[in-house]
Amino acid sequence: MKKIICCFLLAPLFVQAQQIQFANKVLKYSSDLGGKLNSVKRILGKPDAFPQGGTSANAWVAKDALGSAYVEVEFEQAQTVKQIAVFENLNAGCITKIMVGDAAGKLHTVNRKQGSFIRWMNSLQSKGNPDRAYYFNRKRRKIEVAPNVESNADIAYFFLQAPEEKVKIVRVEFDFSLKPGQKQIDAIAISDSEEPIQPQLNLMDGADQLPAAEKFIYAPDIDYDLSSIFVIEKDLFYTISKYQTAGEIHAVDLTNPKEIIDVTKKIKNDKKLNYILGHAAASKTILMGSENKFRRDGDALGFDFFNLNEGVFTYQKPLKIIAYNNYGDYADAFWAKDGQHLIFGIESDLTQGGYDLYFTQPKDEESFGLLQNMGKGLNTAADETNPFMLSDNKTLIFASNGYSGYGDFDLYVSTRLDDTWKNWSTPKNLGPKVNGQSFETNPFYEEKTEMLYYVSFRDGVSVIQKIKIPMGQLTTASQ
């Protein structure tokens, strides 16, 4: 991850370069929560919780939410500093002192210019937005009521009375008793300009030029949840479920979308299977999951293979994975079209933080091999889930709350860089035409029509939306 950014402002007679650096090393700190989530190292690099703001596993959290705290960070290169920006993604406004120092570590307190106190107003934060009163629970695939608490995210800008030369170290001190609730710090940046440092989303090229998304299928009311979109030939399958009620698989004929049928009754098996998670057209085989899927009793993972022939589902066998390990009772999965790659969203010993994406391949005719983490280039300290792989076996669309975005979960695209399946391009946000202030999940890209279908939470209900995205725009996202 690059820590130095140069922004060029073109003028007729000269070019002015703004040098921005984000902290790349922690020298000292008062405390953190330990472990991978919310450790002090999460303060390094570019912001992950901006511009959306709010609670994030990718931000530093001190042990005492109402006590004093400090952090001392180093930057890659010494530089002239006119501005220091502190990205406070939860309950901002607790900074009491800022000190700067050179490479030798000699620190002194810096002061702001008179009248230069500026705070960043997050236009993407919801102020009383009812959609943010709910959150996506990946475990049960439900929307559950949560307190409608403002995140009070902000960026504190410190414009110095006089430029500081050869700054290599910055120390920030906090009094967290100044604001109620937990505090989180996302990033610290310095600049040789007074142009306010702004959080930048890593957008897919042309994302803002896409057409508007269309609402396609609505849940009846707030008690219902839509998930697990899958297109097979001309039928779009999806799961509709209600809290504490078994989900049903429904299907829509895309050539006649007014007709919706319940296909659950066609499944000839005593297991309650509620999700379609993959389809290998060559063998006419589909992977399905149950409402109780991902359970860990013995070798029963809650996944089963079925044969789909002329609309009839016939049971084949259970999915078995060697040494399957998941800290949670639930997970997510996608079976690639080639039938040779299975992607899981779980939390294990190898996770980067929360739920990570893993892959596995067939070991023999009866089972799949060990799950392997797909790498730090893809997974964050937060959650990555709902993977979908295009037929090229290189282009991955997934949901995450671990990157800069617009809402609680956004959709991102990444490209596999080699055959290890562990090196991926930096994920790019699909942009404001796809992602909103709440959450977007469960993507499915239909390549023939170049249509992306996904689940969103809009106007108080779960809805399946669709948007046309040229396939070349997705497959070249890493370029």
Domains of the chain in start order, with CATH, are 4-191 (2.60.120.260), 207-475 (2.115.10)
Q: Tell me what percent of the residues of the chain surpass a pLDDT of 70.
A: 85
Task: With cut-offs at 50, 70 and 90, classify the pLDDT of residue 354.
Answer: confident
* Residue 448 and residue 234 in contact, taking contact as beta carbons nearer than 8 Å: no
Give the whole-angstrom CA distance, residue 190 versus residue 20: 6
- Angle 437-346-276 from CA coordinates, rounded to 5°: 75
The candidate with the shortest Cα–Cα distance to 387, out of 360, 368, 406, 362, is: 360
Give me the chain's average pLDDT, please.
86
| pLDDT exceeds 70 at position 7 | no
Burial string for 346-362 (b: 16+ CB within 10 Å, else e) reads: bbbeebbbbbbbbbbee
Q: What's residue 131's pLDDT?
A: 43
Q: What's residue 148's pLDDT?
A: 45
Give the whole-angstrom CA distance, residue 360 versus residue 1: 27
Give the whole-angstrom CA distance, residue 426 versus residue 439: 21
3-state secondary structure of 339: coil
Q: pTM score, two decimals?
A: 0.88
**Least confident stretch, 140-154, 192-206, 240-254:** 140-154
Comparing 459 with 70, the larger pLDDT belongs to 70
Task: With cut-offs at 50, 70 and 90, classify the pLDDT of residue 313.
Answer: confident
127: CB partners within 8 A, 6+ apart: 150
Torsion of CA 126, 93, 72, 45, to 10 degrees: 20
- Across 438-449, average pLDDT: 95
Comparing 479 with 210, the larger pLDDT belongs to 210
Comparing 428 with 113, the larger pLDDT belongs to 428
Strands (E), 243-361: 245-253, 256-262, 267-268, 273-280, 285-290, 303-309, 312-318, 332-335, 342-346, 356-360
